[in-house]
């Protein structure tokens, strides 16, 4: 028997430490929470992506009375980005959320497993690392590649 450990790397920023381009992306993710359709959870999530050519797009969670038919903000945005601009890699994805009191969360939210799997596919299809910013009002967490959020993953190499 061998015990094997994997290590992941992430960086923690205070909002004032972000460069102008990242601050703009985070603000776009925050603004996108206002287009969320979340009558069931009252949890409004916004996502924004910067594509390799600099284009900025955003999206939000869209719920449904048949609960599993809804979609998270991250997948809404990534599917939109790849539908609209299939030729461009996604350089950075930023995620922000507001709770049922309408206030932005102070600490970053962490994406669900299904969204992580979709992020991995986006990274692989474009052969470029996808950078992720998880955004609270008091802290920003940065991952430079999806593997750090989804180690030991299933991908096309198994098929």
Residues 6-45 contacting ligand THU, CB under 6 A: 38, 41, 43, 45
Residue 112 in contact with ligand THU, rule: CB under 6 A: yes
Distances (CA, A) of 30 to 101, 114, 155: 15, 21, 31
Cβ proximity to ligand THU, 104 vs 127, nearer residue? 104
**Residue from 63, 74, 142, 147 carrying the catalytic annotation:** 74
CA–CA–CA angle 98, 103, 15 (5° rounding): 80
Pick the stretch among 6-14, 65-73, 119-127, 142-150 that binds ligand THU (CB under 6 A): 65-73
The 10 Å CB-count burial string (b at 16+, else e) for 94-129 is bbbbbeeeeebbeebbebeeebbbbbbbbbeebeeb
Cβ proximity to ligand THU, 56 vs 109, nearer residue? 109
With CB under 6 A as the contact rule, the residue among 33, 61, 82, 92 that binds ligand THU is 61
Question: DSSP readout, 67-78?
Answer: GGG-B-HHHHHH
Smallest distance, Å, CB 144 to ligand THU? 19
74 is catalytic: yes
What's phi and psi for 52, nearest 5 deg?
-60, -25
With CB under 6 A as the contact rule, the residue among 32, 49, 73, 78 that binds ligand THU is 73
Residues belonging to the active site: 74
- Contacts with ligand THU, residue ranges (CB under 6 A): 38, 41, 43, 45, 61, 63, 70, 72-74, 109, 111-112, 115
């Amino acid at each position: 028997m061998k015990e094997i450990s994997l290590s992941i790397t992430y960086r923690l920023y205070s909002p004032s430490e972000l460069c102008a381009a990242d601050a703009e992306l985070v603000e776009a993710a925050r603004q996108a929470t206002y287009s969320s359709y979340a009558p069931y959870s009252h949890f409004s999530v916004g996502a924004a992506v910067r594509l390799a050519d600099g284009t900025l797009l955003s999206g939000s969670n869209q719920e449904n009375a048949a609960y599993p038919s809804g979609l998270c903000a991250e997948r809404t945005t990534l599917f939109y980005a790849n539908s609209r601009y299939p030729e461009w890699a996604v350089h950075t994805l930023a995620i922000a959320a507001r709770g049922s009191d309408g206030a932005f969360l102070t600490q970053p939210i962490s994406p669900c497993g299904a969204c992580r799997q979709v992020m991995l596919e986006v990274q692989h299809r474009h052969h470029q690392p996808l950078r992720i910013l998880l955004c609270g009002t008091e802290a920003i967490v940065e991952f430079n590649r999806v593997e750090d959020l989804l180690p030991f993953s299933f991908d096309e190499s198994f098929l």
